[in-house]
Amino acid sequence: MPRWAMVIDLDKCVACQACSIACRQENNTPAVSPERAAEGRAIRWNDVIRADLNNPEAEGAYPNVKPRYVPRPCMHCSNPACVKVCPVQATYRDEDGLVRVNYNRCIGCRFCTVACPYGVRYFNWEAPSWDPEMAQHLNPDFVSEGGSLEGPAVRPKGVVEKCTFCIHRLRKAQARASLENRPFRADEYVPACVETCTARARFFGDLSDPESTVSKLASSGRAFRLQEEAGTHPNVIYLREG
Amino acid sequence: MLKVDPQDKARLIDPLFKAGPSFWLTAAALGGVLAWGVKMYLRQMDLGLVTTGMGRPAYWGIYIVNFIFLIGVSMAGTVVTAVLQLTGVNWRRPITRIAEATTVAGLLVAGVQIMVDMGRPDRLLSLLVYGRLQSPLLWDVASLTLYLLVSMFALYISLIPDLGIVRDNLPQHVPGWRRLLYTSLALGWRGNREQWLRLQRLVRIVSILAIPTGVSLHTVTAWILSTTLQPGWHSTILAPYFVVGAIFSGIALLFILVTIVRQISGVRFYIDERHYRKLGWLFITMSLVWLYFTYTEHLTMLAGQDAVEWPVLASKLWGADAPLFWAMLALMLLAILVLTLPVLLPARLERARFFRPRVTAASATSAGVAFTLVGLPQVLPVAAGLGITNLRPGLLLAALALTVTAAISALAWLKAHVEAHIVIASVAVVAGMWLERWNIIIPTLTHPRMIAWASYTPTATEWSLTAASFALFMLLMLIFFKLFPAVSLWEVEEGRVVDTAQSRLEIPLPPQSSTSIGSYPAMPRR
């Protein structure tokens, strides 16, 4: 069983937000107007946020300013706060350790969005909409297992969604391996944000394999995780900025 | 044929069959607000929750505030009734019906809040089909359902003898459906010994069941919040704090509803000042316990200044959430002072000329004038002309002193008018407790760990649905008390029998010995 994990090197990240755009195209999250975004209605599975979100003084005063940015996907925690509170098991942790959301079952109570200490879960306040041209180029992929609906499938209004570590790419890679009659290898798939990262700051792989890149980076002295005191054991590992 | 005291019939049964224009006007007004709410809800269903002021990070809003508030006020009805019933308190009899009806109506409207808040109300039944018992939300669903069933059952079984009485004492011209209603709901009640024994046993069992289910309901509602890691919610004290606040606000709402029912029907004869005084003691106790819990909860946050909790408290104390936080505290302190100070006023002072309504009116008016002058944007020409620089602080001091004078001089009047002073306190407490629920939910949601802090303002949709919810609550109460007696006929009758029996069968204490004991005055023998 692989244990999927992502490593983000903050020393390399230039905060270009290419990961956010790649994620948006890959996973069909609609763009909203700035007014709507100010109301808190924007959906950004992969967001690049300021490290000192609510404390601008921490970035320093002119001329000694040092803004710090943190790319923030879902942490796919080993002890996820969201899964524990879901009343209908619409969000759950699968055997690969991915925290998933079934859009067909979510009742929209928003308990998980309130419980997540990372704020990575998003609610569909209204039905998604795209510019006509954009709407013709949506990603047709989706994941459906036993009546569920997951992945980039267009979400109806009133349900919760979040980063899936591009589970549809994982399923494709697994299907390819099985068609070719060979075992699936953990390095056969990466999420869209990792593929697109301009600074090569993101790494993806299997944390249960001690020889994998993520395992080696995770043992670096610079490695840390967000909100470790929350006890959620996230599987997104950051490398501290020097 | 069950008999009824002609007085009781005239005051409690006959009004059920007379609906004047004021009844229809009230019903139409409440129905209008409700219809508007339904329209806004359909719009919300169509467009999504984007019609509300909620967003990221304020994922919950006024609907959840209303939910917790309504659960709170409805907890008191059945629980307080059950406690009074089990401890054999006799004065409870005329108010039990109103209390139990409040609980049922409040819980039904609380359930509506959940429906209104859900992103996918069409998937409500998934809670039963796929329900995960590990989720605190499921605990709440289970607890709410259980307490609603127990409360409805308690209300119904205590109605059965009354339904039998009403069935046998219908006025001349009654529509057929009402005759059918009372006949079928009375379940063939004839009031024989066997039926009474069964009823008494059932009432006892239901009362015993009601207390733990009621307490559990508000406990698990608090656990929905406190089992998350969110700053300000993750607190051990939250569940008992919610229970205390629930009983406190429930008693306040009970006082208001009892007063309304008294004003518009013949119930005035059954519920008087002494009921207010007796239940008032419980009210004062709960107010002080609430104050204690509030202080404890905030003191630990203030002293700890935890990195994620402190911004929430700072926002309440002097940030964006400060106006509502201090409004809550002001209302609660007003209620506590209005409840306690008149009781503490020495009887000797009451006669003093200072304690007159006209003194209150005069000083309150002067205080109002002084506050207006202080609030004026420019320095008064008179003050400028006289070169008095300290006029404004002086005026402010005078205004505050006049306010205190007005408050103190009103004490004797408040002491003499028990109903008035308890209703003033109750209105303050109901408003304050609604704000308290707001101050628990909203500041925490708007100050999360990893999302930029935000603010939350309800939209017209949310206010409409809030108004419609309270209109629905009042409408349910109105219809209920038009169909069923507001005071339990049989409990009052039973109380009379108990009173008579007790006066005859008093257990005498051992007689006094012949030798006198010290300085005790000889007690007059009854």
Distance of CA A131 to the CA centre of its chain: 24
A40 touches chain B (CB under 8 A): yes
Q: A156: distance to nearest CA of chain B, Å?
A: 10
Mutate to test the interface with A, among B56, B113, B447 (most CBs of A within 10 A): B56
Amino acid B380: pLDDT = 58
B238-264 and B273-304 helices, crossing angle to 10°: 150
- Answer for the pair A47, A22: CB distance below 8 angstroms, yes or no: no
Q: How far is A13 from chain B (nearest CA, A)?
A: 19
Residue A100 has pLDDT above 80, yes or no: yes
Q: What is the pLDDT of residue B52?
A: 94
In a domain, A60, yes or no: no
pLDDT of residue B292: 95
Which of A36, A46, A85, A121 should be substituted to probe chain B, the one whose Cβ sees the most B Cβ atoms within 10 Å? Answer: A85
The mean pLDDT of B435-444, rounded to a whole number, is 95
Which amino acid is it at B109? V
Q: What is the mean pLDDT of residues B187-206?
A: 89
d(CA A213, CA A215): 5
Contact between B218 and B238 (Cβ < 8 Å): no
CA B445 remoteness from chain centre: 26
* Predicted local confidence at residue B273, as pLDDT: 81
Domain count, chain A: 1
pLDDT tens-place string over residues A16-38: 999 999 999 999 999 899 999 99
Contact A87 B120 (CB under 8 A): no
pLDDT value at residue B388: 59
Smallest Cβ–Cβ distance between A39 and the set B55, B126, B136 belongs to: B55
The arithmetic mean of pLDDT across residues B291-315, rounded, is: 92
The verdict on A111 touching B (C-beta cutoff 8 Å) is yes
| Mean pLDDT in residue range B223-228 | 94
Instruction: Report residue A99: phi and psi, to 5°.
Output: -90, 120
Asked if residue A44 is part of any domain, the answer here is yes
pLDDT at residue B126, as a whole number: 92
pLDDT (tens digit, 9 = 90+) per residue, B334-357?
A: 999 888 888 888 888 878 888 888
Instruction: Identify which of A162-176, B80-94, B173-187 has the greatest average pLDDT.
Output: A162-176
Quick one: pLDDT at residue B493? 81
Residue A93 located in a structural domain:
yes
Q: For residue B221, give the nearest of B239, B206, B198 by alpha carbon.
A: B239
Cα B188 vs. chain centroid, distance in angstroms?
35
Tell me if A109 and B126 make a contact (CB, 8 A cut-off).
Answer: no
> In the predicted model, is pLDDT for residue B278 greater than 60?
yes
Pairing mode, if any, of strands A47-50 and A160-161? unpaired
Decide if B124 and A126 are in contact by the 8 Å CB cutoff: no
What residue of A is the nearest CA neighbor of B115?
A109
Share of chain B above pLDDT 70, in %: 92
Q: What is the CATH number of the domain that holds A188?
A: 3.30.70.20
Burial label for B199, CB within 10 Å (0-12, 13-18, 19+), is: middle
**Which is nearest to A192 in space by CA: A3, A14, A19, A1?**
A19
Cα–Cα distance for residue pair B372/B380, rounded to 1 Å = 12
Q: How many CB atoms lie within 10 A of CB B403?
A: 17
- The answer to whether B456 and B58 are in contact (CB under 8 A) is yes
pLDDT at B492: 81
Question: How deeply is B257 buried, as exposed, middle or buried, from its count of CB atoms within 10 A (0-12, 13-18, 19+)?
Answer: buried
Distance from CA of A134 to the nearest CA of B (A): 22
Q: Please return the burial class of A155, using the count of CB atoms within 10 Å of its CB with bins 0-12, 13-18 and 19+.
A: buried
Q: Which residues on adjacent β-strands are paired with residue A8?
A: A202, A238
Whether the CB-CB separation of B266 and B15 falls below 8 Å is answered with yes
- Inter-chain residue contact A85 with B452, CB threshold 8 Å: no
Distance of residue A173 Cα from the nearest chain B Cα, in angstroms: 31
The rounded distance, in Å, linking the Cα atoms of A126 and B56 is: 13
Buried b (16+ CB within 10 A) or exposed e, B171-182: eeeeeeeeeebb
| Chain B partners within 8 Å of A54 (Cβ) | 311, 447, 452-453
User: Tokens 């975004």 — which residue?
Assistant: A37
Q: What is the Cα–Cα distance from B181 to B16, expressed in whole angstroms?
A: 13
| Per-residue pLDDT band at B324 (split at 50, 70, 90) | very high
- Residue A239 β-bridge partners: A9, A223
B406 vs B383: CA distance, rounded Å: 26
pLDDT digits (tens, 9 = 90+) for B127-155: 999 999 999 999 999 999 999 999 999 99
Nearest chain A CA: its distance from B435 CA (Å): 20
Confidence of residue B168 (pLDDT cuts 50, 70, 90): confident
Nearest to B68 by CA among B30, B120, B117: B117
Which CATH fold topology does B6-496 show? Formate dehydrogenase/DMSO reductase fold (1.20.1630)
Structural contact between residues B181 and B220, judged by C-beta atoms closer than 8 angstroms: no
Beta carbons of A19 and A178 less than 8 angstroms apart: no
CB-based contacts of B483, cutoff 8 Å, min separation 6: B16, B178, B181
- Give yes or no for A54 touching B (CB within 8 A): yes
Residue B311 to residue B453: CA distance in whole angstroms: 10
The secondary element (H helix, E strand) that includes residue A4 is strand A4-9
- The reply to whether A194 falls in a domain is yes
Please name the residues between 156 and 185 in chain A that touch chain B, using a CB distance below 8 Å.
156-160
Are the C-beta atoms of residues B85 and B62 closer than 8 Å to each other? no
Residue of A nearest to B48 (CA): A126
Question: Do A117 and B47 make contact, defined as CB atoms within 8 angstroms?
Answer: no
In Å, how far is B58's CA from the nearest CA of chain A?
8
- Kindly determine whether residue A87 and residue B49, on different chains, have CB atoms separated by under 8 Å: no
Residue contacts between A and B (CB atoms, under 8 Å): 133
- B518 pLDDT exceeds 70? no
Give the start-to-end residue ranges of the domains of chain B: 6-496
A107–chain B Cβ distance below 8 A for any pair: yes
- DSSP element (H, E) containing A238: strand A236-239
Residue B488 falls in which region: left (phi positive, over 0), alpha (psi -120 to 50) or beta? beta
For residue A41, which residues of chain B lie inside 8 Å, CB to CB?
50, 55-56
Determine phi and psi for B304, rounding to 5 degrees: -75, -40
Any domain includes A62: no
What band does B516 get if pLDDT is binned at 50, 70 and 90?
low
Judged by average pLDDT, the poorest of A172-176, B11-15, B285-289 is: B11-15
Which residue type occupies B162? D
Structure tokens at B226: 């406190």
Residue B125: both structure tokens together: 């039944």
State the smallest CA–CA distance between residue A188 and chain B in angstroms: 32
Which string of b and e fits A96-135 if b means at least 16 CB within 10 Å? ebbbbbbbbbbbbbbbbbbbbbbbbbbbbbbebeeeeeee
Hey, are the CB atoms on B135 and A122 less than 8 Å from each other?
Answer: no
Subunit contact B127:A87, Cβ cutoff 8 A: yes
Cβ proximity of A88 and A101 under 8 Å: no
Q: Do A87 and B450 lie within an 8 Å CB cutoff? A: no
Question: Domain limits at A166?
Answer: 4-54+67-239
Give per-residue pLDDT as tens, B441-495: 999 999 999 999 999 999 999 999 999 999 999 999 999 988 998 888 888 888 8
Q: Which residues of B touch A (CB under 8 A)?
A: 47-50, 54-60, 117-120, 123-124, 126-127, 130-132, 134-138, 141, 224, 227-230, 311, 445, 447-454
Where does residue B161 fall: left (phi above 0), alpha (psi -120 to 50 degrees), or beta otherwise?
Answer: alpha
Query: What one-letter code names the amino acid at A121?
Result: R
Mean pLDDT, chain B, as a whole number?
A: 87
pLDDT of residue B265: 67
Among B60, B138, B450, the residue with its CB nearest the CB of A117 is B450
Beta carbons of A40 and B55 less than 8 Å apart? yes
**Residue A37 carries which side chain, given as an amino acid letter?**
A
Tens-place pLDDT, residues B92-130 = 888 888 899 999 999 999 999 999 999 999 999 999 999
Cβ of A114 and B230 within 8 Å?
yes
Question: B50 to chain A: which residues are within 8 Å by CB?
Answer: 41, 125-126
pLDDT at B506: 61
Q: Give B93's DSSP letter.
A: G
Which chain A residues have a beta carbon less than 8 Å from that of B450? Answer: 49, 53, 72, 117-119, 226-227
- Say if CB A178 and CB A184 are below 8 A apart: yes
Round to whole Å and give the CA distance between B131 and B138: 7
User: Reading across the β-sheet that carries A236-239, which strands appear in turn?
Assistant: A202-206, A4-9, A236-239, A223-224
**Helices B62-86 + B418-446 axis angle, to 10:** 140
Rounded Cα–Cα distance for residues B260 and B265 (Å): 9
Q: What is the pLDDT of residue B381?
A: 60
Highest averaged pLDDT of the listed ranges A192-206, B179-193, B334-348: A192-206
**Could you read off the pLDDT of A128-155 as tens digits, one per residue?**
999 999 899 999 999 999 889 999 999 9
Of residues B75, B115, B48, B145, the one with CA closest to residue B472 = B115
The answer as to whether A59 is a domain residue is no
Task: Establish if A128 belongs to a structural domain.
Answer: yes
Q: What pLDDT shows up at residue A173? A: 95
Beta carbons of A87 and B228 less than 8 Å apart: no
pLDDT of residue B525: 55
Residues B489-492: contacts with CB within 8 Å, 24+ apart? B489/B4, B489/B8, B489/B12, B489/B13, B489/B161, B489/B162, B489/B165, B489/B166, B490/B161, B490/B162, B490/B165, B491/B93, B491/B94, B491/B96, B491/B158, B492/B8, B492/B93, B492/B94, B492/B270
